[in-house]
Chains A and B, each alone.
Chain A
Amino acid sequence: MSKERVLAEFAEIVHEVAGIPVAEVQAGSHLRDDLDIDSLSLVEIMVAVEEKFGVATPDEIAADLETVSAVLDHIERNQPAGVL
């Protein structure tokens, strides 16, 4: 899966959970400051990420995810072999 594709899929999840327009979800966006995603929404988003990409996010990792690019890196690093 290409990076653009992962971003598009992630933006779709963010839109579904937090109501943010897909186009506003950019690699450089800050989750809290730019997208207004609160702690409850982040948990919900990461559960959806796990279902979509097969990538689990332990709480201690989630706490450090502040930007969209950090999430995308996390997905890329941990995606099961053969999917990317």
Chain B
Amino acid sequence: MRTYGRRVVITGQGAVTPVGLSVQDFWDALLAGRSGVGPIESFDTEGLPVTIAGEVKGFEPTDYMPRTVSRRIDKYAQFAVAAAMQAVEHAKIVVDDANTHRVGVLIGSGYGPTALVQSGTLTLDGRGHRALAPWLSAATSIDCAAGEVALRLGATGPSGAVSTACASGTSAVGEAMRMIQRGDVDAVIAGGADNSITSFDIGSTAMSRALSRRNDDPQRASRPFDKDRDGFVMAAGAGALVLEDAHSAERRGATILAEVVGYGATSDAYHPTAPHPEGLGARRAMQLALDDAGVPASAVDHINAHGTSTTLNDRTEAAAIRRVFGDHAPAIPITSVKSMTGHMIGAAGAVELIATVQTLLTGIVPPTINCDDPEDPGLDFTPHRPRQHDVKVAMSNSFGFAGHNATLVVRRYE
């Protein structure tokens, strides 16, 4: 049950994804069922077992920051800065002397600045430490994106990174919600970012057997909840949301998009990469989020699933949904937008929460494309085409490597 007095609302959203470089373009692509997966263009994939990914294309960092800043940070952080700037502009929130101490920044990432770490290591090996740029030390840290966002906004409340693998974006939003509920701050720019598409990232994740090898048919490779799935598709991007104390938001006349009402976080403590076979941690995260929201399972109208397209996740997630929602489960339209975006790792949870909010606002559930032969035919995975569906309460799931589970519940603000 609710133990906090303050209500937390979303007043702004920003996204950089493989299917669109703004929330509107991203949302339009989802409703069109468009895949952002293709052959990797950013490096030579010769010899790797996986040669496809959901890369961000056409992104111009200087649209959001000076070149002196963009050249000193990894692309993952550039994406985070861009998404954060979009969200702040959308929220029309001004950070100034009056509120700067009351604004925080939490940007999650699973892998962080992997391209800079890889290129820096190669430079060290080839040319020695004197060839390493002085800014690399700051730029190769997992909190670099959060620090840069705080710096660009002049936000002087608490800032940092939350890292829970594929659940990082969801964890960041959940923890930001708590910061506001506790009264630490009145607003948090929260989200996640990742761009783990280097030869090291693809090579190592392929070795873990988690990636789809459907290299010859990239747009059909990410197929969450479809029986023919063979792994997830690595993708890049960032999502950011402005979370605010509801009173503060109302006082400044903000447009309130949705209310964040529940957060649940658990760990499997079972295996480095595989989920618990009975989805114990996932079930508990969903239940905790419902309890936190103070809503019964029967009140949930929509689930934005983690739905990675791996054999293990989709089976356990579908079973966990059955267990938590019981007889109500078949009536809930479930979607996995990873079918179109691929898996943006630390960005996924934040971007998927944005999709969930768009569903609350528009009454349209985006489809799970490529879901031809559902894992559980009794569940409604919203296959192929978007669906009109009035949604008042929705859940967004993220489950990560190392057994990190995080679930958020959002509600139409009334």
Contact = CB atoms under 8 A, between A and B. Distances in A.
Contacts of A40: 72, 134-135
Contacts of A18: 68
Contacts of B66: 19
Interface in B126-149: 130-131, 133-135
A14 to B, nearest CB: 11
B67 interface: yes
A44 B133 contact: yes
B12 to A, nearest CB: 29
Dominant secondary structure of chain B at its interface with chain A:
loop
A70 interface: no
Contacts of B68: 18-19, 36, 41
Contacts of A36: 68
A55 B67 CA distance: 27
A65 interface: no
A19 B67 contact: yes
A36 B72 CA distance: 15
A44 B67 contact: no
Interface in A17-73: 18-19, 36, 40-41, 43-44, 47
Contacts of B135: 40, 44
A47 B130 contact: yes
A44 B138 CA distance: 14
Nearest to A36: B68
Contacts of B130: 47
A18 B135 CA distance: 12
A11 B13 CA distance: 41
Contacts of B71: 19
B204 to A, nearest CB: 30
Contacts of A19: 66-68, 71
A36 B135 CA distance: 16
Nearest to B69: A19
A19 B72 CA distance: 12
Nearest to B127: A51
A19 B61 CA distance: 14
Contacts of A44: 133-135
A44 B136 CA distance: 11
B197 to A, nearest CB: 26
Contacts of B133: 44
A36 B67 CA distance: 13
A37 to B, nearest CB: 9
Nearest to A46: B134
A65 to B, nearest CB: 15
A40 B138 CA distance: 10
A47 B131 CA distance: 8
A44 B131 CA distance: 9
A43 B134 contact: yes
A18 to B, nearest CB: 6
A67 B71 CA distance: 24
A41 B41 CA distance: 31
A11 B131 CA distance: 20
Nearest to B135: A40
Contacts of B131: 47
Interface in B64-119: 66-68, 71-72
Contacts of B72: 40
Nearest to B71: A19
A62 to B, nearest CB: 11
A44 B135 CA distance: 8
16 contacts: A18-B68, A19-B66, A19-B67, A19-B68, A19-B71, A36-B68, A40-B72, A40-B134, A40-B135, A41-B68, A43-B134, A44-B133, A44-B134, A44-B135, A47-B130, A47-B131
Interface of B: 66-68, 71-72, 130-131, 133-135
Interface of A: 18-19, 36, 40-41, 43-44, 47
Cβ-closest 10 pairs across A and B? A43-B134, A19-B67, A19-B68, A40-B134, A40-B135, A44-B133, A44-B134, A18-B68, A47-B130, A19-B66
Given A19-B71, A40-B72, A44-B135, 13 more contacts: A18-B68, A19-B66, A19-B67, A19-B68, A36-B68, A40-B134, A40-B135, A41-B68, A43-B134, A44-B133, A44-B134, A47-B130, A47-B131
